[in-house]
Chain A
Amino acid sequence: MAKTENGVRIFQGLLILGNVVIGMCGIALTAECIYFVSDPHGLYPLLEATENDDIYAAAWIGIFVGFALLALSILGIVGVIKSNRTLLLVYIILMLITFAFEMASCITAATHRDFLTPNLFLKQMLERYQKPEANNNNDKWMSEGVTKTWDKLMLQNQCCGVNGPSDWQEYTSTFRTTHSDADFPWPHNCCVLDSQGHPINLDGCKLGVPGFFKSNGCYAAISGPMNRQAWGVAWFGFAILCWTFFVLLGTMFYWSRIEY
């Protein structure tokens, strides 16, 4: 009798430990997803204009899943300590639902990361940067967002175009319809600017003299934060789900062995 009593106690202890870890991971997941949703790099307008912002949807789901995991882990600890069948049944059902949501979030984040290719941002930049007139309010909002984001990117990251300034020469663009090729082989934000925001040598910039224009592409500055977001949500969620799988299995086993 004492041996099974000890075994039950150990099993309860393991389940409580598992739930504690789930609770802490829930808090971490919520914090991580709030960080991503707050968009510290200001890249959300680019995704919004691609109409493919599902990595943000995945982060939003992650916030609520994190809260749910915290609450359910507390419920689970109480249920295991009291060995209450009803509490544990509620815990199992709600955990299965949360598991399903988190699965969706992970797979969405991982899948939609693959859509963020350089060509996607190149096409968007060429078609939307400095677009003067728009078809409707939504289109105007997206074009303004893209223009502001690109201007900020070029200034802060010392870069030009997606692959480089040659993007503006290899393709025609909406920018080209309002700015002549002779005066603007690339936007003036691609020039090295002084403290007042004027190019230090406009002729040198137009000719492409090294030192007067920014020759790097901005793709690294765009894809770096987005990749970190997508992989952060996807892999951390995956890790939580693997752990939760075992805790849930253990809880189901414990529940089935509780005597009325």
Chain B
Amino acid sequence: ALLPYEPRVPPGALLGKVTATTFALERPCCVFHRLTNASDTVWLVVAFANASATFRNPPSRADVPLYEGLPTAHAYMTLETAAAAYACSVPGPVLRVGGDAACGGQHGQTACNGPLPSPGPYRVKFLVMGCHGPKAETRWSDPILLRRARSPSTVDPTPTQRSSDVVVIASILASLGAGLAVAALGAVG
């Protein structure tokens, strides 16, 4: 079943909502309540924007593409959560994709939420998996582009203009010094 919800980056003023390897998502509260029961899990599908059209929902838990396969499969699923965590009565914090820098090494069956390797752009959707396979999904989000940081060598430290104070001080002092030199020569000579 296709739910009309579209995941998005939180619109509020959060300075860290999109970084170079992570991004935040609004929590999908009260979106899955009609279609799910207690044993269902909600996954987040993260795919490169140009690979989202070719993504096929995995038929079972064992076929779920994981974080380690992102370079080849161009998509992975993460943030495996019980559907009850997104219930209407449980307001919670925003979700952070890519926030776990410690995982990604173990090739197991656990869903790793590792940092994203490239700036993207990425598209995400939520997928509800029951015990017999996918039950419901949301729409794909708009493409999310991560930050690209510039090198510090592009920072130009040279000052833009000479302040007028320097000109005033230098010119007046120079003329005073010259005046003294002339007076000294006149008094001696």
Q: Which residues of A contact B (CB under 8 A)?
A: 92, 96, 99-100, 103, 106-107, 110-111, 113-115, 117, 119-120, 122-123, 126-127, 165-166, 169-173, 176, 180-183, 185, 203, 206-210, 213, 215, 231, 234-235, 238, 241-242, 245, 248-249, 252-253, 255-256
Do A122 and B187 touch (CB < 8 A)?
Answer: no
Q: How far is the CB of B49 from chain A (nearest CB, A)?
A: 20
The interface residues of chain A lying within 8 Å CB-to-CB of B121 are none
**Interface residue? B62 (CB, 8 A):** no
Which one, B35-43, B53-61, B95-103, B129-137, is touching chain A? B95-103
Cα–Cα, bound, A247→B93 (Å): 73
Contact check, B152 vs A126: say whether CB atoms are below 8 A apart: yes
Q: Does B3 contact A (CB under 8 A)?
A: no
* B159-178 Cβ-contact flags toward A at 8 Å (1 or 0): 11011011001101110110
Q: How far is the CA of A96 from the CA of B176 in the complex (A)?
A: 11
The CA of A234 and the CA of B150, in the complex, are separated in Å by: 37
| Residues on B with beta carbons closer than 8 Å to the beta carbon of A245 | 176, 179-180
Assign chain B's interface to a size class.
Answer: 35 or more
Q: Is B1 an interface residue (CB 8 A)?
A: no
Q: Is B157 in contact with A123, judged by CB distance below 8 angstroms? A: yes
Indicate if the CB atoms of A182 and B14 lie closer than 8 Å. Answer: no
Nearest CB in chain A: distance from B155 CB, A: 4
Q: How far is the CB of B87 from chain A (nearest CB, A)?
A: 21
Task: Say yes or no: is B149 at the interface (Cβ < 8 Å to chain A).
Answer: yes
Contact assessment for A96 and B184 in the assembled complex, using a CB-CB cutoff below 8 Å: yes
Give the distance in Å from the alpha carbon of A256 to the alpha carbon of B189 in the complex.
10
Closest to A253 in B: B187
- Smallest CB-CB separation from A166: which chain B residue? B15
Taking CB atoms, residues of chain A closer than 8 Å to B8 are none
Q: Which residues of B contact A96 (CB under 8 A)?
A: 180-181, 184
Interface string of B21-55 (1 = CB under 8 A from A): 11010000000000000000000000000000000
Cα of A99 to Cα of B179 in the assembled complex, Å = 12
Q: Is B74 an interface position by the 8 A CB rule?
A: no
Q: Specify which chain A residues have a CB less than 8 angstroms from the CB of B17 in the assembled complex.
A: 207-208
Interface residues of B in 94-148 (CB under 8 A from A): 94, 96, 98-101, 114-115, 147
